[in-house]
Amino acid sequence: MYYLGTGLGNKYGDESNFELQTWRMIADFSLKEAMGGDVKNLLGGELTVFSEGVIPSNLELLIWPRAAAFASVMWSEKTDENKLAQGLLNFNEILDKQGIRHSSVTSEWCEMNMDVCFPK
């Protein structure tokens, strides 16, 4: 469904043919809508990262928090962005405590002004 290795360019600095799929783009996906309203037979989902654009120093940054947004889409109905952003910020704190690197959810200013950046 989603490929997390896009939008990075290649080893020559050329742009990728695909745009970077942000956590917001991933969270905007409606599983129920994609399945025609019938999700009872769904067995799971897949999030992929292939190695052509990945190096050890960027692997975790590519995965988190976008994989958490994908998990939210798979396990629950579409939620408002404000609630999801707050959940991803909380999850990033857990990752920090575990020493796992991640990309940011939003700017520090938006973290202090969630209702402005992520209106309900």
> Over 2-63, what HEC string results?
EECCCCCCCCCCCCCCCCCCCHHHHHCCCHHHHCCCCCCCCCCCCEECCHHHCCCCCHHHHH
Mean pLDDT confidence for 39-57: 80
**Measured CA distances, 120 to 71, 73, 80, 87, 112 (Å):** 21, 18, 6, 14, 15
Question: Does residue 1 have a pLDDT over 60?
Answer: no
pLDDT number for residue 90: 94
pLDDT tens profile 8-42: 555 555 555 566 778 888 888 887 787 787 878 78
Question: Does residue 5 have a pLDDT over 70?
Answer: no
